[in-house]
Amino acid sequence: MDKTLLKGLQVLEHVAASPRPVRSAHVANELGLMKSNAHRVLKTLEHAGYLVQDPETKEFSSGLKLWEMGAQIVDRLDLRKSASVLLHDLAQETGEAVHLSVLDRSEVIYIDKIDSPQPVGAYTRTGGRAPAYCVATGKALLSALPEEELAPVLTGLEAFSKHTITDPEALRDELRLTRERGYSVNRGEWRDSVWGLAAVVRDARNEPVAAVGVSGPEFRISSPEREEELGAAVRRYAQLISRALGNRSVA
């Protein structure tokens, strides 16, 4: 156990729960810390953006970074709630595993999933991560990024399978195609023989907030007819989830 980290979290939680700004002496007394240790932890949290200190009173209070983190978590919970029934409908319609993912820098996080009823399926877990450029939900989300946010993701692309796209210009072409047809395709780029398709979910402000996708073994998905069928399905369900989030601009 990292006692220093634990102490920092205790201090952070104490300040966040306090109805008014606090001094380091108060924190030290309440948590049983030496005043110098409490002050050092508070200043470290201030430097990281989690706390702010009034220059006149020297009191500490919660910073906007805490609010931003909490807002992101709430947004994700609302997103899962809004999408839940539709994810089950998509899984029933396609017979494949279904994922709901959000973008975290150069990775996607799976915030919800429905397993395939088929005996052979694609394995992922809720809370798991994957390189965004290798999976369908990630490629869908990357296709919605402006160039200034996309460019850092396209540097040092690592190969995870023989099908991984590691050339930045080739990946840009793939993302351009994704925007044109409305869905992305992963052809075994993260895990050999596991394919997937996904489309972007947009919130009430028409901002890309997630991607919904299906995945399964290559032998069930790779035919042109099946790819077109699943592509149309994820695009349609991404629109339905977007509407559930209050988006009125989707077709």
**Cα angle 187, 140, 97; round to 5:** 60
- Global pTM value: 0.70
Domain assignment present for residue 250? The answer is no
Domain of 145, CATH number, reads 3.30.450.40
Q: What is the rounded CA–CA span in Å between residue 144 and residue 146?
A: 7
Task: Judge if 168 and 219 occupy the same domain.
Answer: yes
Task: Find the domain containing 28 and state its range.
Answer: 3-62
**Residue 251 covered by a domain:** no
Same domain, 215 and 161: yes
Looking at the fold, whether 99 and 45 belong to one and the same domain comes out as no
Rounded distance between C-alpha atoms, residue 141 and residue 133, angstroms: 9
Residues 48 and 105 in one domain: no
Taking only the tens of pLDDT, the chain with its 251 residues reads 677 888 889 999 999 888 899 999 999 999 999 999 999 999 999 999 999 999 999 999 988 787 767 766 656 657 888 888 999 999 999 999 999 999 988 999 998 899 877 654 455 677 788 999 999 999 999 999 999 999 999 999 999 999 999 999 999 999 999 999 999 999 999 998 999 999 999 988 899 999 999 999 999 998 999 999 999 999 999 999 999 988 888 76
Count the helices and strands in the chain (H runs, E runs).
Answer: 9, 8
